[in-house]
Structure 1
Amino acid sequence: MKWAEISIQTTHEAAETVANIFHELGSSGVVIEDPELVNSYLTSGVWDYSDIEQESNTEIVTVKAYLPVDDQLDEKLRNFEEEFQQISSRGMDKGIGDMRCREVQEEDWASSWKEFFHPIKVGQYIVIKPSWEEYKAASDDLVIELDPGMAFGTGTHQTTAMCCRALEEVVKPGCLVFDVGTGSGILSIAAAKLGAASVQAVDLDSVAVRVAAENVAINQVEHVVKVAQGDLLTGVTGKADIVIANIIADVVIKLIVDIPARLKENGIFIASGIISERLSDVAAVMLEHNLLVDKVIEEGGWVAVIARKGGC
């Protein structure tokens, strides 16, 4: 399958807004290349080896999105350019706006980044291991074997790692979990390995649904995790003990309206993919909808929020 890789240079301030524009256009996935984040990985020892040099200019953030090459692509690109030009009217610095577009084959993209993806322990127990690498597990490790393909999720980003640590805190044996926007299925698999009895994983993108189902099978948790295509909570049934959404702030805010009705009493909502500057916006909407913030986890300019459904 052919994809169009659209990349645009913007600022830290506008990166999430740009990502949201791509999301609204139906992008299969968005990659934010943040030089500050790359530098932090290079100095932290997360990567065993890398020949990437530290970036000296950390002000320019590159946002990349992947759209299928079809008869709708030209219109989507025009819509993106219009929306991008409007960012300044919202009081944000949109940056230089240098945009490039190139065609990529799915198999080429899916293999090009593998040299940078190595086993990593993201929580007290959870280890993300690429399917093509060896890892000697400790006795208490919960190893998730992963082949993300085009589903955009390796577990190495702070937002996913924070979600894994949040799940380690709140998942109890026998609980029901909804994973909204599952991507490559990491968080659903983590919940299953932590003892959840049932996990409903949904994603709007058919590629993510396929890849997540494959990763669920690789990790032998098909009896717990069911993957389906759906738009946020429209893809799940019943009420959950835990709902988790690692998306972006604007989508989380839209989702919050429907969360209380889909949580059991004292149920927990974990939201991530939120830049620190948007925490107050998300927390305010949570409060409006009777979700009480229990804990905020912050790392590298990103936050994850653990909130609990309050009483009537």
Structure 2
Amino acid sequence: MQWFRITVETTTAAVAAVSEILTAAGANGVQVADAADPEHIQARTADEVFDWRTIPHREAGAAVTAYYPVDDQDAARLAQIQTRVAALPQAGFTAAAAGSVKTKIIADEDWSTNWRQYYRPVRISRFLTVVPAWSDYQPATQQEQIIRMDPGEAFGTGTHPTTQLSLALLEMIMRGGERLIDVGTGAGILSIAGTLFGAADILATDIDDQALNVARRNIKLNLQAQHIRLQPANLLADVTEQADIIMANILTEVLLPLIPQLPDHMLPQGTVILSGIYRDKTAAITAALAQHGLVPIYTLTDGEWAAIAAKRQSEAG
């Protein structure tokens, strides 16, 4: 089998946005080479040192790559991606974010080499480390918890600010025993993290069946996550249950139509965690929340990204 590889040259700040563009075009996930990688990979012990002078890595910018089976949709898929990438500056990113879009046909036997060479255990929050399934990595301390992931065709490492902000808010809010809904779960990282924080029940949804398959595969790798339930759904339109915490790490354009659906799916004293927000869109998200009786209780930022935790105004005291 042959694969259609698409690589977008972009900036560190736009990695999550480009990743969403490639995923929306049908990729199960993305491969990222980022000049910020040295900031994300941390030593397991005080004696372990990464000498980035000897480890190949980008010195500037970022490249986001996705693979698609070669088919009659290649030309249309490429045109869609090029159009959305070219529009990134209109969404508040710098002109450099809309870099070149390169393509290449590769053979199936090159697949695992192209992916596995990039992945090491990566600390993504205070207590969580994402580990490739084939790694023999073991926690360095009792407090460190592991999420094992099998990238297969693609691997979201969770190193991007949007994921880190989501996890930081989840750590701040959870006390154990909560019911969670993970809207647009993707590879399932946030849901799996929720189990490590003590969630009693988790429903993970996604409109993309391929994303659900990736999440299902990753859940099987994490014994503590076996109770996560998966459901195909367009945001919360097809969901009937309520939760203590609803989390969504998706772009602003998708968060806005999600917000009106939130109150009906929140249990009393419930909280929503919204990430993937461009910092210049924070006011728009806050205004949309207010229209539906929700107010921020925490706002975290990282570079050009923001994440908001909100509650019902009547319960936010």
Structure 1-normalised TM-score?
A: 0.80
Instruction: Please identify, of 181-190 and 122-131, the stretch whose mean Cα deviation from structure 2 is larger.
Output: 122-131
Residue 200 of structure 1, CA deviation: 0.8
Please list, as runs of the form range in 1=range in 2, the aligned pairs for 1:49-64 lying within 5 A after superposition. Answer: 51-53=55-57, 55=59, 58=60, 61-64=62-65
Secondary structure class of the residue paired with 2:186: coil
| CA deviation vs aligned residue, 1:208-231 (integer Å, no higher than 9, x gap) | 322322222221135521123333
Retained in 2: the 8 A contact 1:119–1:133?
Answer: no
| CA deviation vs aligned residue, 1:43-68 (integer Å, no higher than 9, x gap) | x769845512451xx4x554444444
**Unmatched tracts of structure 1, length 5 or more:** none
Residue 296 of structure 1, CA deviation: 1.7
Partner of 1:245: 248
Retained in 2: the 8 A contact 1:244–1:269?
Answer: yes
Partner of 2:128: 126
Number of residues of Structure 1 aligned to a counterpart in Structure 2: 307
- How many angstroms apart in 2 are the aligned matches of 1:157 and 1:118? 15
Partner of 1:76: 77
Name the Cα RMSD after superposition.
3.4
Residue 82 of structure 1, CA deviation: 4.5
Q: In the alignment, residue 104 of structure 2 is paired with which amino acid?
A: R
Retained in 2: the 8 A contact 1:129–1:146?
Answer: yes
Instruction: Please identify, of 18-27 and 204-213, the stretch whose mean Cα deviation from structure 2 is larger.
Output: 18-27
Partner of 2:37: 38
| CA deviation vs aligned residue, 1:267-307 (integer Å, no higher than 9, x gap) | 11112223333333333322333221111222344322212
Retained in 1: the 8 A contact 2:237–2:261?
Answer: no
Please list, as runs of the form range in 1=range in 2, the aligned pairs for 1:266-281 lying within 5 A after superposition. Answer: 266-281=269-284
Question: Alpha carbons of 1:223 and 1:63: their partners in 2 closer, same or farther (altered >3 Å)?
Answer: closer
Question: Alpha carbons of 1:49 and 1:135: their partners in 2 closer, same or farther (altered >3 Å)?
Answer: farther
Structure 2-normalised TM-score?
A: 0.79
| CA deviation vs aligned residue, 1:92-120 (integer Å, no higher than 9, x gap) | 76457422112346774455343443334
Please list, as runs of the form range in 1=range in 2, the aligned pairs for 1:99-248 lying within 5 A after superposition. Answer: 99-104=101-106, 108-109=110-111, 111-131=113-133, 132-221=135-224, 223-234=226-237, 236-248=239-251
- How many angstroms apart in 2 are the aligned matches of 1:221 and 1:16? 27
Question: Alpha carbons of 1:311 and 1:2: their partners in 2 closer, same or farther (altered >3 Å)?
Answer: farther
Identity over aligned pairs, percent: 31
**Unmatched tracts of structure 2, length 5 or more:** none
